[in-house]
Structure 1
Amino acid sequence: MSEVGTILLTVYSGSGDRDGREEDGGGDERRAAARRTVVVPVEVERAQQVSADTDDVSALAGSAEQPPRIAYVDARALVGCRHRLHLDATHPERLLGVPEDAGVKQRRDAATAHRSKVRDTLVAADPQAWVIIDADQNASGRAEDTLRACSEGAQRIWGALLPQEPDTGRRGGCEILLRDTDRGGYIPIIVVNHKVTDPRQPDPADFHPTTSDLYRWDPRPDRHVRVRTQPRDQQRLAHLYRMLQRHGLASPALVGGAIGYHFDRILVHDLGPVLDEYDRRYADRIAVVRGELPTVPSKVPECRQCPWWTRAPSVTGGERPDITEPPAVSCEGWLAAHRDVSLVAPGSRAELLRRHGVQTIDDLAEWTADEPEDWQYEPFAETVVTARAWISGAPLVRRVDRVRVTRADVEVDVDLESYQEYGAYLWGTLLDGVYRPFFTWDPLPTADEARSFAEFWTWLMAVRADAVAAGKTFAAYCYSRTAEDKWLYESARRFAGRPGVPSEDEVRAFVDSPQWVDMFQAVSEQFICPNGKGLKKIAPVAGFGWRDPEAGGEASMSWYRLAVGYDGAPDLSQRTRLLEYNEDDVRATQVLREWMAPAQPRAHSADAEVPAMTDFREPPAVRRNICT
């Protein structure tokens, strides 16, 4: 292994000091220990079984005659799929010309616009305090300007870029470098387009986060917010701290900051507890990029938007002929061919199961022992049933003898459409088979959103009041209430005092009542879902299909941009498309409800069509023998 690789792996094993200055020198024993430590036992062992004919880790990592691939890693690589990182680095040619996921592009564009807004606002408040790094010049020029500004003691630097580090592979920059006038050095502050805090009542609590004013650095406990956990922000700040350390520019305060979507304060992160985990994670990721650690696919949430899910890497052996690549198939194809356990137990569940020797869905389906002591997820018996159902092809399994859903004399189905964090532009409803949308086509954010929301709320409450007056029961239904609840509260808060807009207390009284029914919760509580619980997965089992083959939340974001003319003249056909998509969503919820709990007994129902857990009590081999 190269000397650079040894240094990085030493950091991984924790032998670097607290300030991140790696120990000099070496020795075969320390190098061997570093190699042993960096290997993640289950994942690398699993990859070796697939991609190598030897159990010698050093052979997989390369040798002095074959130096590691020259590569750089920024903070984005620290969170997410290791195998995607490997494929991106090894087969970049396969992604040339591949359209970027529309949702990813929209979020990036929105983040760019948000950062521009933050920059303009902060700089306008005190122009003399800021040095703006010219973003149009090349990377080396930006890095030189950043170091020059630091050496001259600039108070605040916008658009800082630090020099790339060929030996460690680090690269990165941050929106703001803030001079620590008390201790010296600089504090990294990032600007992100997601929420970093949520409001809360200033009641007693065990922990109050530290925040600072936007215009004057003054960190202190904040009783009015609670932290939204964002590990990616902390990892990025730790990455920047290590890069500042490299040049003697890191503040001894060992903190970083994040300005979030609401742009109302700086959330201050203590980086001390984060650095060891960052060092371990970084050493692992740079080793993956350099080809020193093998990887194989494993299903994680990121797969939904990953280009490698359906795209095979190059057929060639890549730059490292000594490493046999996994078969040249897509991740989806590879996992299916191997019947990998992550298909039914994704993410950390699969990692835990592999530690117990469960590699495939069949291994899990054959499990008859007690559940693993370290299992911390849903009941383990249900996970085993999920595997058995997957093998049998059953899309759902009943947890209960009889499926139940709250029914009422008057039933309204509700579904909203929102655009990022800008607002909710469409509230769709279904009553007695009639679809009624409440919408605004003024581009968000817009004050007209208050009107459409007020009209929706007024109509819904009138339907409820009429039902009560007639002595009838009432219920409103949604699928996964998280989004609806969020925008009900957000709309009441943002448009408080406008005609027809309810108070937050009125919203709370409604959503906490039994009249607000979440069909997602009903599905989750009563079914095991081997293929997922999303409405697009569940409603087809009940017999519903969408008119638009591209229907989905991410696609609707692109349709909305066209519908309101963000990038040109409004496309009226996309407005029709959005309304039809929203209508299909509320009709899907209605069909699902009537299938789960029909008003009259019928053959086409969940009770009649969905197998029960008791049908999967035995492993597949035993069930086959019984059937025989």
Structure 2
Amino acid sequence: MSQQPVLLTGYDAKRCARRVHNEWDPSIEKVEWEVPASLQMRFDAGIAFEVTIFNELEASLADSRYVDLSDVRGKANAIAATVQAMEDDVDVILGGWLPDDTEGGRTGRPDILLGTSGGYLPGDVKGHRIVARRAKGTLSYSTIEDPSDILTANGFGAETAARFDDYLQLAHYWRMLEAIGRAPQGPPRGFIIGSDIVPDLTTSGRLLTWVDLDTALFETYSRSRGTAKRSALERYDHEQGFRLKVARAAASGEPALVQPIFTDECESCPWLDYCRDVAGESVASRQIKSGRLSVREWAALADAGVVSIEDLAGLDPSDPALQASYLPEVTHLKDPLGRLMTAIRRARMIRDGRNLERETTGPISVPRADVEIDFDIEWDPDDHVYLWGALVNRAGEEPVYRPVVAWRELDDAGAIALAESFATWLRGQIAAAAAAGQSLLVYHYAHPEPAYLKRLLGEPAVADLLAHFVDLLPIIREHYFGLFGLGIKKVAPEFGFNWRDEDPGGLQSQLWLMEARAANDEVARLSGQKRILAYNEDDVRATAAIRNGL
């Protein structure tokens, strides 16, 4: 029997329950995990964003109003400092650590604690947007200059379902504050400081977005009613309570209460290889990686005896017995039978070794021109486009790759100037084609290329260019179904194209850029730049391969 108290963090309620088991089962050897570079980049970006927000708060508040405990070393010291700050009625506590709630099985350190009448409210810093424009919405918010003054604004609202994890984390800290008698009277609430900049509401544009934790916002499964809306606290109490049972059973050496079910979360989990060994190769949730079913759907299928790819591929979704056992467990989902049929289709493609299936017959119509330019962009972690790549194709000539690139770090003005350089070059190509009596089209795959042009230069300013653009993705969607989705990296190989780089991808290219920018050695810097250019050239050549293959 483990003597260590089971304490779950603010992240555990939103994590895979099997991961919680693995971390608390003393019989499982703990894994050494090298964080993938792309994931580490996101971690680093999150830490840097938190530092930025803390700096902004400290700059806007009088010294007497805040304390920053981020640099306090050791859990016990950090808890003691946080408790002392609360006893001293400090308005804003940054980087604190709440006392463990051993009875509730909780530990955690909210990014921010904001003093209010009778207690403290939890806040978190998130490097994503939390504010949405809504015609009938009302947003509760504060400014960083006066975080305690809660204001409202019509025409905006806090994201809900898309930011469910944020609500769960705040609910965790609220329960911890309750456990030590520091939660104020009144409705449970917390706030998020996201990446939103909303100059309509405050000069700096930076907001504390307030969210209600006891308002029924989230539609979930209900055994008695099919679906029911529940609050963040209700959802948190259920998820936390279940994972606490899982963790305590694991810590006590009892059999696992949950078996591995593979989701998108697994790709960034240190236990992935271990769970693969436990589950085996043939389990359906492991092999279907696009259009995955939810954990509840997979569990309902397992209860019906459907576990392996072969089981799923051989399933008849119209079987009344299957529907009678399966559908009552997934009534909260939209079109659960359609989702199941799609999963069955993917299982059959895996069984039969097919990655792409044609859904139509006859010729596929693709606009063509005398001059055809394939187009792809790359942007850095700050969302600045630093590379506009084009492949110019003229009949009877070898295609020519033409990058418009800036290797230095860009600010907004630099990104706009680079976009203008590309637009000027493209207008020259269009004018030259017109002078020669030739037509010209620009092909891209998905929406980022035109979207960034419009965002950087304004849609009216690039309307003449956009008139020549052709998006190949809608054409692919009309005619094909993809086992692993219809992203260009999955589709192009089916048309005979493969990238030269062993690990191609947008996130990876951002890492290469960061490494090249940071390199002190010119050879390393030039090598990184060359790798990025080759990757981008392959992206535009992949677009050409799909276009010609259609």
**TM-score under structure 2 length normalisation:** 0.81
Q: Which runs of 5+ in 1 are unaligned?
A: 1-65, 314-328, 493-501, 598-628
Q: Is 1:365 aligned to 2:313, yes or no? A: yes
2:111 is paired with a residue whose SS is: strand
Q: Is 1:104 aligned to 2:58, yes or no? A: no
Pairs within 5 Å for 1:426-465: 426-432=387-393, 433-445=399-411, 447-464=413-430
Q: Is 1:424 aligned to 2:385, yes or no? A: yes
Query: How many Å separate the matches in 1 of 2:461 and 2:86?
Result: 53
Match in the other structure for 1:207: 137
Match in the other structure for 1:343: 288
Query: How many Å separate the matches in 1 of 2:4 and 2:451?
Result: 46
2:387 is paired with a residue whose SS is: strand
Query: How many Å separate the matches in 1 of 2:28 and 2:427?
Result: 55
* 2:119–2:183 Cα contact (<8 Å) kept: yes
Query: How many Å separate the matches in 2 of 1:244 and 1:509?
Result: 58
| Aligned mate of 1:256, from 185, 190, 194 | 190
Q: Which runs of 5+ in 2 are unaligned?
A: 198-205, 215-230, 251-255, 394-398
Query: How many Å separate the matches in 2 of 1:101 and 1:388?
Result: 32
Q: Which amino acid aligns with 1:207?
A: G
Query: How many Å separate the matches in 2 of 1:341 and 1:112?
Result: 31
Q: Which amino acid aligns with 1:302?
A: E
Q: Is 1:247 aligned to 2:203, yes or no? A: no
Q: Which amino acid aligns with 2:335?
A: Q
Cα-Cα RMSD: 3.0
Pairs within 5 Å for 1:515-530: 515-530=468-483
CA shift, 1:343, in A, is 2.1
Change beyond 3 A, Cα 1:352–1:468:
farther
* 1:523–1:533 Cα contact (<8 Å) kept: yes
Q: Which amino acid aligns with 1:487?
A: Y
1:476 is paired with a residue whose SS is: strand
Deviations 1:412-431 (A, max 9, x none): 22222122344222121112
Match in the other structure for 1:269: 211
Q: Which amino acid aligns with 1:184?
A: G
Match in the other structure for 1:573: 527
Pairs within 5 Å for 1:186-585: 186-198=120-132, 200=133, 205-216=135-146, 217-223=148-154, 225-228=156-159, 229-251=162-184, 252-262=186-196, 264-272=206-214, 273-292=231-250, 293-309=256-272, 311-312=273-274, 329-330=276-277, 334-340=279-285, 343=288, 347-349=292-294, 351-352=296-297, 354-355=299-300, 357=304, 358-370=306-318, 374=331, 376=335, 381-402=341-362, 404=364, 406-409=366-369, 410-432=371-393, 433-445=399-411, 447-464=413-430, 466-467=432-433, 472-481=438-447, 483-490=448-455, 492=456, 502-506=457-461, 515-565=468-518, 571-585=525-539
CA shift, 1:157, in A, is 1.2
Change beyond 3 A, Cα 1:540–1:465:
same
1:160 is paired with a residue whose SS is: coil
Change beyond 3 A, Cα 1:307–1:140:
closer
* 1:476–1:517 Cα contact (<8 Å) kept: yes
Change beyond 3 A, Cα 1:467–1:73:
farther
Query: How many Å separate the matches in 2 of 1:348 and 1:386?
Result: 11
Which protein is richer in strand relative to its size? Answer: 2
Query: How many Å separate the matches in 1 of 2:118 and 2:373?
Result: 61
Length, aligned pairs only: 493
1:177 is paired with a residue whose SS is: strand
Deviations 1:224-260 (A, max 9, x none): 5454431121111111111111111113242111111
* 2:288–2:346 Cα contact (<8 Å) kept: no
* 1:163–1:171 Cα contact (<8 Å) kept: yes
Change beyond 3 A, Cα 1:461–1:220:
farther
Query: How many Å separate the matches in 2 of 1:112 and 1:566?
Result: 22
2:149 is paired with a residue whose SS is: coil
CA shift, 1:275, in A, is 0.4
**TM-score under structure 1 length normalisation:** 0.71
Query: How many Å separate the matches in 1 of 2:196 and 2:501?
Result: 35
Q: Is 1:78 aligned to 2:78, yes or no? A: no
Change beyond 3 A, Cα 1:147–1:351:
same
2:452 is paired with a residue whose SS is: helix
Deviations 1:277-323 (A, max 9, x none): 010011122223333552222221123333433x237xxxxxxxxxx
Query: How many Å separate the matches in 2 of 1:85 and 1:347?
Result: 21
Query: How many Å separate the matches in 2 of 1:414 and 1:338?
Result: 39
* 2:290–2:485 Cα contact (<8 Å) kept: no
Change beyond 3 A, Cα 1:422–1:503:
closer
Deviations 1:386-420 (A, max 9, x none): 22221111111111113625322033222221223
2:374 is paired with a residue whose SS is: strand
Q: Which amino acid aligns with 2:232?
A: V
Q: Which amino acid aligns with 1:290?
A: R
1:297 is paired with a residue whose SS is: coil
Query: How many Å separate the matches in 2 of 1:119 and 1:350?
Result: 37
* 1:478–1:519 Cα contact (<8 Å) kept: yes
Q: Is 1:593 aligned to 2:547, yes or no? A: yes
Change beyond 3 A, Cα 1:267–1:421:
farther
1:452 is paired with a residue whose SS is: helix
Query: How many Å separate the matches in 2 of 1:104 and 1:552?
Result: 13
Change beyond 3 A, Cα 1:538–1:336:
farther
Deviations 1:135-174 (A, max 9, x none): 2321111111111111121111111210122332211112
Quick one: percent identity of the two aligned structures? 27
